[in-house]
Every structure is written in structure tokens, then in C-alpha cells.
């Protein structure tokens, strides 16, 4: 399967995830909402891990470094989830908030990759131009 289909399905999942944060944010405490969401994600991941062992679609690789990076990712996704509930509980529309959050995450993710993973060799002028457009879009959406 081509990576683009997986990437687009992942984008759909992120969009739906943020949509459901938005629609639930006025009906549940922000931290409780994030805890419920993370609990469900944990149970889903646990079930997927059990299934992956029985059908062998996982390579089973586990290293100490990988676990610590996964812990760091968990801390940041937990913060992002709680903050998303707070952002949307302020009445911000998803049509503005979602592109600012996701677009901003693209900009920060690219910068982290370039600075810390030294991914400059695969980053072309066209990629830089795309990143400028994403940043411009975030600025335009965030402005009144």
C-alpha cells in the first residue's frame, strides 16, 4: 500500500479527532474529556497490540530509547489534547481552530525535524515554499 493513502487516512483520523474534541468541549470538563479520550486511546492501543501479536503485522522492536521517546510523545500529545479542549471550549470554531492547530503543528514539526534530525538534505525549495504557505495560512486564520 502506498504511503499517501495511509497519510491521508491518518489526516482524516486527526480531523475527526479534533472534530469530536470540538463537539464535546462544551459538554465535558476539559481535563476529564482529555482523560476519557486518552483512556479510550490506551484501550484501543492495547487491543491493537494484542491483535498485532497474533497476526504478525508488527516487528516487535522495543528499545529503551524508543520507549523514552514514546513517553515524551505521550506527554506532548496529552498536553495537546487538554489544550485543544480548552481552546475549543472558548467558543472558537473548528474551521479556524483546527487549521491553526494542525498548521502550527506542521510548522513546528518541520522545524524540529530540520534542527534536531538534520533533515535538510531532503528539504527542497518547493518544500520551504509549502511551509511558508502553511505559516501564512495560520497567520491569516489567526488574525481578525
Extract the C-alpha cell encoding 101.
492547530
Query: What is the count of structural domains for the chain?
Result: 1
The per-residue pLDDT for 52 is 78
pTM of the model: 0.80
pLDDT digits (tens, 9 = 90+) for 67-111: 999 999 999 999 999 999 999 999 999 999 999 999 999 999 999
The per-residue pLDDT for 80 is 93
DSSP H/E element including 134: helix 125-142
- Percentage, residues of the chain above pLDDT 70: 94
The per-residue pLDDT for 75 is 93
| Crossing angle for the helix pair 94-116 and 3-24, to the nearest 10 degrees | 130
pLDDT digits (tens, 9 = 90+) for 14-34: 999 999 999 999 899 999 999
The per-residue pLDDT for 28 is 94
pLDDT digits (tens, 9 = 90+) for 31-75: 999 999 999 999 999 998 888 766 666 666 788 998 999 999 999
The per-residue pLDDT for 26 is 87
Give the residue ranges of DSSP H helices in the chain: 3-24, 30-55, 64-89, 94-116, 125-142
Amino acid at each position: 500500500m502506498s504511503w499517501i493513502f495511509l497519510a491521508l487516512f491518518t489526516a482524516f483520523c486527526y480531523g475527526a479527532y479534533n472534530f469530536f474534541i470540538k463537539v464535546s468541549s462544551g459538554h465535558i470538563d476539559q481535563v476529564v474529556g482529555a482523560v476519557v479520550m486518552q483512556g479510550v486511546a490506551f484501550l484501543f492501543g492495547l487491543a491493537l497490540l494484542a491483535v498485532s501479536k497474533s497476526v504478525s503485522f508488527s516487528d516487535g522492536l522495543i528499545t529503551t530509547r524508543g520507549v523514552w521517546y514514546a513517553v515524551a510523545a505521550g506527554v506532548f500529545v496529552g498536553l495537546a489534547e487538554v489544550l485543544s479542549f480548552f481552546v475549543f471550549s472558548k467558543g472558537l470554531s473548528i474551521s479556524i481552530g483546527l487549521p491553526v492547530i494542525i498548521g502550527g503543528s506542521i510548522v513546528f514539526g518541520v522545524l524540529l525535524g530540520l534542527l534536531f534530525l538534520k533533515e535538510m538534505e531532503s528539504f527542497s525549495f518547493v518544500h520551504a515554499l509549502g511551509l511558508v504557505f502553511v505559516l501564512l495560512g495560520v497567520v491569516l486564520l489567526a488574525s481578525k
